[in-house]
Amino acid sequence: MDKLNIVQKTVVSIILATMVISVVVPILFFLTVAFSNDVEMTQFPKRIFSNFSVTVKVASGENGEYELFHDRGDGEGYRSIITTKNPTKLENHFKRQYGVIISGEELLKDFSATRENGPMEFKYRKDLFFNFKQFFAIVNNSGKALTPS
């Protein structure tokens, strides 16, 4: 009878563990997707947790332009993304692609160090709630609809 008790406990433990995993893993995946920026959404395999920062490599180019590279994490190294000296274009790129809220002038100021030191890596903190802010800015009356729910 003691052996039967051990088998019952083992079976119940396996069933409970399976139920917990079948609930926790999808919730963790949905949270990761909710806090991911556009670049992270295209990565495969998907990371378990979203990054809190974005690292880009910048090289100075001709005519005062800066070439922006991003490491997608697929082992192929950095890829050229954009070449510009327009602060508005840089600001929009960082906001839309990486979820980083920073002014274009600040980016140009940071990137100016590449003129003397060559290509450099820069790390910027990501706005984790950027996706939610975008949703509430785009959808009409979404704030009013959130209150009753």
CB 53 within 8 A of CB 124: yes
What is the pTM for the complete model shown?
0.71
Q: Among the ranges 12-21, 32-41, 81-90, which has the highest mean pLDDT value?
A: 12-21
Q: What angle do CA 63, 59, 91 make, to 5 degrees?
A: 80
* 146 alpha-carbon distance from chain centroid: 25
State residue 88's pLDDT score. 92
State residue 148's pLDDT score. 66
The 10s digit of each residue's pLDDT in 75-91 is 567 788 888 889 999 99
As a whole number of angstroms, the distance between CA 126 and CA 55 comes to 10
pLDDT at position 18 over 80: yes
Backbone angles phi, psi at 38, to 5 degrees: -60, -40
As a whole number of angstroms, the distance between CA 126 and CA 35 comes to 10
Sign of the dihedral through C-alpha 131, 110, 43, 73 = negative
What integer is the mean pLDDT of 59-80?
79
Lowest mean pLDDT, pick from 6-20, 84-98, 135-149: 135-149
What integer is the mean pLDDT of 12-28?
93
